[in-house]
A = this chain, B = another copy of it.
């Protein structure tokens, strides 16, 4: 069977069996944004890893090495944010093509250094090897969260409201602009969207606020809203109903989508890499969550609600008609 026939999620399910030999130390293993590990003292340990491959996750044709470093850190910090914790220590593996200059590798590290400083984390080790064709970067990141305060994908309950922070589709619109530099568009608008794609920021502050405010499930939007909702619904054993008109899509994203002849909702649902947080919250806590985020300068928007699993995942169009929400998030091995 070829990898493409199975898809990334199927592969992980098949591979992740029987890998625990010290069960007493594991609070949450494979299947969420990070592993959650037990420690003495007041905190749990969060542990995550992400690999970025040149030509798959980034292109040096339009990203600088520093931007690749910034993105590598953000992708990992976003997983920690989605658990409600804070990042602490990372180790970086670099697979370097010899065509790269020392200056380019130093610039890559400048990006890592800058992002590590912004998120307040240490880089405490690494490995540097040769990778003949493609630059490959792996960051493995440790974080902490107060015991009992980690937010899983599995806690959504029927009746909970579904929210998303910030806006969606910016990264996809930015990628489109990187790939189509000839598109005629306001330069400030283009710079804003390209930066959203090339220098994404993890919603660390929002994640910390949310984990202390009673949210029931949370995920970061790395593979597109549809994929993350599918993960939450599957892990929680629920369905969802999401309203098209409430999906937060920035006017600049709509502008590029119009020029490119795309549906901007496709970018919001399937584009991925926005690194916003999607979360569920009981209705009686929703106002408090909104206020706490607003007080910290963080935006959020209610986009729908959690419904029973047997009703499925439903997308409510502008006119009120409902269609199935196809889970079309980014899959590395989909045909």
Instruction: Contact check, A89 vs B37: say whether CB atoms are below 8 A apart.
Output: yes
Counting contact residues on chain A (CB < 8 A from B), the size range is 35 or more
Q: Per a CB cutoff under 8 Å, which of B21, B128, B130, B140 touches A120? A: B21
Closest to A33 in B: B125
Chain B residues, CB < 8 A from A92? 49
Question: Known contacts A88-B25, A129-B53; is A123 also within 8 Å of B19 by CB?
Answer: yes
The answer to whether A134 has its CB under 8 Å from any CB of chain B is yes
Q: What does DSSP make chain A's interface, helix, strand, loop or mixed? A: mixed
**C-alpha spacing A59/B142, complex, angstroms:** 31
Q: Which residues of A115-159 are within 8 A (CB) of B?
A: 116-117, 120-134, 136, 138, 140, 142
Chain B residues, CB < 8 A from A12? 126, 128
The answer to whether A288 has its CB under 8 Å from any CB of chain B is no
Q: Per a CB cutoff under 8 Å, which of B5, B19, B98, B131 touches A136? A: B131
Shortest Cβ distance from A201 into chain B, in angstroms? Answer: 17
Instruction: Contact check, A130 vs B333: say whether CB atoms are below 8 A apart.
Output: yes
1/0 per residue, CB under 8 A from B, across A23-55: the answer is 101100110001101011111010111111101
Chain B residues, CB < 8 A from A29? 122, 124-125
Q: Per a CB cutoff under 8 Å, which of B21, B47, B134 touches A133? A: B134
Shortest Cβ distance from A192 into chain B, in angstroms? Answer: 28
Instruction: Contact check, A113 vs B57: say whether CB atoms are below 8 A apart.
Output: no
User: Which segment, of A101-109, A260-268, A303-311, faces chain B?
Assistant: A101-109
The answer to whether A93 has its CB under 8 Å from any CB of chain B is yes
Closest to A27 in B: B124
Instruction: Contact check, A2 vs B49: say whether CB atoms are below 8 A apart.
Output: no
Instruction: Contact check, A49 vs B138: say whether CB atoms are below 8 A apart.
Output: yes
Instruction: Contact check, B47 vs A128: say whether CB atoms are below 8 A apart.
Output: no
Instruction: Contact check, B102 vs A2: say whether CB atoms are below 8 A apart.
Output: yes
Chain B residues, CB < 8 A from A1? 101-103
The answer to whether A285 has its CB under 8 Å from any CB of chain B is no
Instruction: Contact check, A3 vs B101: say whether CB atoms are below 8 A apart.
Output: yes
Closest to A1 in B: B102
Q: Per a CB cutoff under 8 Å, which of B20, B56, B96, B113 touches A130? A: B56
Instruction: Contact check, A332 vs B4: say whether CB atoms are below 8 A apart.
Output: no
Interface residues of A (CB under 8 A from B): 1-6, 8, 11-12, 14-16, 18-23, 25-26, 29-30, 34-35, 37, 39-43, 45, 47-53, 55-57, 88-89, 91-96, 98, 100-103, 105-106, 109, 112-113, 116-117, 120-134, 136, 138, 140, 142, 332-333
* 5 residue pairs, one from A and one from B, having the closest CB atoms: A140-B140, A40-B41, A35-B124, A19-B123, A51-B93
